[in-house]
Amino acid sequence: MGVEGGNFFTTKFDSILGWARKYSMFVYPFVTACCGMEYIAAACSHFDIDRFGAGLTRFSPRQSDVLMIVGTISQKIAPVLKKIYEQMAEPKWVVAFGTCAVSGGIYDNYSTVQGADKIVPVDVYIPGCPPRPETVFEGIMKLQEKIQNQHQDWRWKK
């Protein structure tokens, strides 16, 4: 690591932290409907979501930084979703997975929320009914790009 050999590089701490965060996502799957099967398929060995750094599923919002909303959101479950989002530590990101989570899908009625963004702020939308695993990976890569390029707030606040 000296000047003589040229074995050094320069970077910004934001870049290193962004790179580390984008490859170490702790996903909380909020699965409510049939899209859950495609989410499971994306995690299986044939498709392997682990190679994107999103394979470590957490079932506690306090240990998660990515909320994956998978499926239909009814009016009754909406307060639960809001509470889970509020319990997550910062920084946190939200992915709407499937047509029902994105826009309410075919359920245009009083009992279904017409999109997850009516409850919590959504960072990435993954369309499809259900979305193919390849589409899921594209959505994860979009989220990784967003995480890498945003300002990394790493200072301790009192």
Can you give the pLDDT at residue 82? 97
pTM: 0.84
Place of tokens 């989002």: 85
Question: DSSP letter at 112?
Answer: B
pLDDT at 75: 95
Its domain, for residue 140, covers 25-146
Give a yes or no: residue 37 inside a domain.
Answer: yes
Query: Could you report the per-residue pLDDT of 39-83, keeping only the tens digit for each?
Result: 888 877 777 777 777 777 888 899 899 999 999 999 999 999 999
Q: Is the peptide bond before 130 cis (omega within 30 degrees of 0)?
A: yes
Assess if residue 104 is contained within a domain.
Answer: yes
Q: Residue 9 falls within a domain, yes or no?
A: no
Q: What is the pLDDT of residues 90-147, one digit of tens each?
A: 889 999 999 999 999 899 899 999 999 999 999 999 999 989 888 988 999 999 999 8
pLDDT band at 4 (very low <50, low <70, confident <90, very high): low
- CATH code for the domain in which residue 38 is found: 3.40.50.12280
Residue 68 lies in a domain: yes
1 domain residue, yes or no: no
pLDDT at 1: 47
Q: Which pair of tokens denotes residue 118?
A: 């009516």
State which H helix or E strand residue 29 sits in: strand 26-31
Say if 17 falls within a structural domain. no
